[in-house]
Amino acid sequence: MIVLFGFFALLGLFAPGDVAWLTIAIAVLAAAVLAHSLRVRHHLGARDDEQMLRSVNALRERRGF
């Protein structure tokens, strides 16, 4: 949703000021995604839990990333 909003705004389909409610909603969503990402990074980095890191790596490999 965040990328689509930016894409359509760059195309000029709408002005972000004209749809202020949508701009605010996307900003809140982006902040939530950033907070989640930082929290996960901190959680994985704070512990030296080798089993957790291996399970995350296995999930990524299973998905193809």
10's tokens = 């760059």
Q: Say what the pLDDT of residue 47 is.
A: 65
Q: Say what the pLDDT of residue 52 is.
A: 75
Model confidence, pTM: 0.64
Residue that has been written with the tokens 């195309």 in this structure: 11
Residues 1-10: contacts with CB under 8 Å, at least 24 apart: 1/26, 1/29, 2/26, 2/29, 2/30, 2/33
Instruction: Return the domain boundaries, the chain.
Output: 2-63
Q: 16-61 pLDDT, tens per residue?
A: 889 999 999 999 999 999 999 888 877 777 666 777 778 877 887 7
Q: Say what the pLDDT of residue 59 is.
A: 80
Q: Say what the pLDDT of residue 42 is.
A: 79
- Asked if 22 and 5 count as a contact pair (C-beta separation under 8 A), the reply is yes
